[in-house]
Structure 1
Amino acid sequence: MKVRTLKKDKVNIITLGCSKNMVDSEVLSGQLLANDIDVVHENKKRDHNIVVVNTCGFIDKAKEESINTILEQVELKKRGRLDKVYVTGCLSERYKNNLEEEIPEVDAFFGTMELPSILKQFEADYKTELVGERLLATPKHYAYLKISEGCNRTCTFCAIPLMRGKHISKPIDELVMEAEKLVRMGVKEVMLIAQELTYYGLDIYKKRMLSELLHRLADVKGLEWIRLHYAYPTKFPLEILDVMRERDNICKYLDIPLQHASDRMLDAMKRQIKQAEMDELIATIRERVPGICLRTTLIAGFPGETQDDINELKSFLDKHRFDRVGVFTYSHEENTGAYQLEDDVPQEEKERRAQEVMEHQQEISYKLNQEKIGKVFKTIIDKKEAGRYIGRTEFDSVEVDNEVIITSDQRLKIGAFYNVRIEKAYDYDLEGVVVP
């Protein structure tokens, strides 16, 4: 008599959207693994039987990608390739009732803060002692470190507070412990992320504590690069600039989303800052941290925006010569402050304006990169492709910034640092050789 053997479950996690979602997926993976459940990220082997789709619901394109991914997994379930499909993340948080009605084939939907509920589906327990334990979805030499959740800001274009709730800081000791665990796993670079980095600590310490956190993280042995992402410009805590200047392992790099430069647009977006104040802040940052790399993000096509606003934005870019710029088209999101405004810029015009701004910045980026030729930069090696090594300097973050393309006769170690002299420079990439 044959005895039927039950195949052990294997879970594949598909992550969409931002790096904050990636961290959530890594934490879920760590919890599943601790409960003796086999788990992988973005499984190429297709030998899994359960899928968790971690969705993004930030803007229209992201929502569309999330829904298409869910439908693809549901189709695999219908064909008998999957046993279960679960959905979590921002889209699920925001539209759970609608999704349950429209895609009933999904086994369960979960919000952004329902990790214990997801684990129950696997008859697994949330293990509080596993703070900082994660199964990294990134290469092992870098990781994202989420220092807080949610946001208290009221920017009229943004739906994040609807999906992530109010700002909640993680305690400093917990973050230091997490960083130490990451270093033991081989991580050499951490990127600090949050919806609003500079608000850190106000809720639990009753004052801004990002500078103290940076000092504590900079003391972690083996942590060679600490990088700051998403620093809100209003009431910017200037003391963090002193820490950046003083501590060698804090990258001279700051991602500070400004969104626009026209006062008219800044007011409509409720950014609580004027262009003149941004001018002053940028000058102060560059004065106190010489050589710092500044990255910003901008929105094109916000309700009421005109070509004059775009021209003002381009003049602002000329004035400040940002090292890195990303441009998004405005997405008209229900229940946000701007939703009551008429979405009066056609999508095609939004995209044209975004392209106009990016082409303007492209010239600035090219000139700034040309100035790097002949200079030597400490460079981390991220990967090897087509016989060439791909790395980054301290002035470049993962995926969004410049890459350094290195041709080398010697074998370079992935995740190791080398001194690289820049030989050629393009709009967004550099070429170089390793030097002693």
Structure 2
Amino acid sequence: MRNSKTVHIISLGCPKNRVDTERILSTLFDRGYTHSDDPLTARYIIINTCAFIEPAVEESIDAILDVKSEHPDAFVVVAGCLPLRYREDLVDSLPEIDLFLTPDRIHELPDLIAAKTAPDPRGDTIYGASVSGRVLTTPGYAYLKIAEGCSRRCTYCTIPSIRGPLRSYDSEMLAQEAESLASCNVRELVLVAQDLTAYGVEKNEKHSLTNLLKRLEIIQDLRWIRLMYLHPDGIPRSLPELMKNSEKILPYMDIPFQHVSDHVLKSMGRPWKGNRIRKLVDNLRNAIPGLVLRTTFMVGFPTERDEDFQELRDFVQEFRIEHVGVFAYSPEEGTPAFDLGNPIPDQVKNARSSEIQNIHSRFIKRRLKEKVGTTQESIIEGVSSETDLLLQGRTWDQAPEVDGVLYITSGDGIAGEIHKVKITATHGPDLFGEII
């Protein structure tokens, strides 16, 4: 039986989407709604979608159709990037959906539900202040979205057309949000945006990334600050020194390189050449002791030749980036790269992706084995999703959701606590350890 003011939410896509999901829940809770983990008991089912690349669009559409098929009597809301990207086309193609919600209208959701109508899905946009009201869905850590949109022009990317140009949130509002999160037992703050390094460039120096980090550092209850999505072309010169001397900013950088071939990078609209990327990695590692890097690579871009892929392969072997994600190029209509066609067969893309992953897997397997017997500062996330007999967490160099997990076989802890853990074993990308 469905309760009249109960909501079930499905969050797809990136951590930035998760922040929007938490704001949706907060907006509804403020108006008397409750959340249910069981969609069968929920009157309202919200799907917060991703539309960055075609596979994400397909996943979102599949989720929508599954919900409507399995819960035909539920009131279904489709939120996120899908209605931003496709707008009226989506309304026409999915008439069975009760409401479409774009991120700029989250605060209106209770009223839109009450009216049971979907006005112009674009609507008036309000930016400039970070909304602090959130219902946390992550244990012991939280994402802090510091900006919306992106003003870079990578030829394959749909984000500027979906989310618009860069708009940085006010630094003091972000600090207040971070303080509120810390008061709710958040000990790790993960900064996210389409491009962290561009934070504040459309404003002035006082909104720069390093100054924001200095402000966040003084929040007493925060223990870790992690940086995700740093563009290689904008890393502030002051950041390595700040990270090196900080007790809270983790020596961890997520820098999506996408490729290292000059030929491919140029056609991607990426301003750097491969040698600058190599020098950047060397310089950062020399400047920040113990630095851990994460990056992503795209294979199968229309201009990627065999020799370009070989250059990427050699880079992965030589530089041994600690965490690597690989995805195959997907042509996205409306992007400049779409006009290049899709000349590389899917089987070639998949083979190249597998080869890069296999090279990295061999390295990461050795790296993780070297951790056995060492003691690592680790955050507890709660009882394991695999079994109630284990706790689950992460070591400091594992970012949430992407870098594997730590299973704790001995010792007690609760979500948000940071403990020293002795690593006892590995399995795939995951670690096992005991609290000491």
Instruction: Note whether the superposition's TM-score is higher than 0.5.
Output: yes
5 Å matches for 1:197-346?
A: 197-205=196-204, 209-346=208-345
Q: Does 1:31 align with 2:33?
A: no
Tell me the CA shift for residue 235 of structure 1.
3.1
Equivalence for 1:61: 55
Distance 1:169 1:276, change over 3 A: same
5 Å matches for 1:27-426?
A: 27-36=23-32, 38-40=33-35, 43-44=37-38, 46-76=40-70, 78=72, 80=73, 82=74, 84-123=75-114, 131-139=131-139, 141-205=140-204, 209-385=208-384, 386=387, 387-408=389-410, 410-426=411-427
Gaps of 5+ in 1: 1-5
1:351-386 deviation line (CA, Å, top 9, x unaligned): 111011000111111222233232211111223332
Output the amino acid matched with 2:281.
I
Output the amino acid matched with 2:51.
G
Cα RMSD for the two superposed structures:
2.1
Output the amino acid matched with 2:376.
F
Tell me the CA shift for residue 286 of structure 1.
1.0
On the 8 A contact 2:232/2:255 being kept in 1, the answer is yes
| Structure 1 segments of 4+ aligned residues over 6 angstroms from their partners | none
- Look up the SS of the partner of 1:299 in the other structure: strand
On the 8 A contact 1:266/1:274 being kept in 2, the answer is yes
Partners of 2:306 and 2:378 lie apart in 1 by 40
Distance 1:427 1:129, change over 3 A: closer
Output the amino acid matched with 2:418.
F
1:192-233 deviation line (CA, Å, top 9, x unaligned): 000000000111225761001111111101001110000000
On the 8 A contact 1:198/1:231 being kept in 2, the answer is yes
On the 8 A contact 2:196/2:230 being kept in 1, the answer is yes
Output the amino acid matched with 1:54.
N
On the 8 A contact 1:208/1:237 being kept in 2, the answer is no
Partners of 1:398 and 1:134 lie apart in 2 by 19
Partners of 1:67 and 1:402 lie apart in 2 by 28
Distance 1:334 1:206, change over 3 A: farther
Partners of 1:155 and 1:95 lie apart in 2 by 20
Partners of 1:45 and 1:100 lie apart in 2 by 23
Partners of 1:24 and 1:12 lie apart in 2 by 15
On the 8 A contact 2:150/2:166 being kept in 1, the answer is yes
Partners of 1:312 and 1:234 lie apart in 2 by 20
Partners of 1:211 and 1:62 lie apart in 2 by 33
Gaps of 5+ in 2: 116-125
Identity value in percent = 37
- Look up the SS of the partner of 1:305 in the other structure: coil
Equivalence for 1:3: none
1:103-140 deviation line (CA, Å, top 9, x unaligned): 1111222333222443431359x9x999412011222x
On the 8 A contact 1:198/1:208 being kept in 2, the answer is no
Distance 1:306 1:173, change over 3 A: same
Q: Which moved more, 1:227-236 or 1:64-73?
A: 64-73
- Look up the SS of the partner of 2:281 in the other structure: helix
Q: Does 1:16 align with 2:34?
A: no
Partners of 2:82 and 2:398 lie apart in 1 by 30
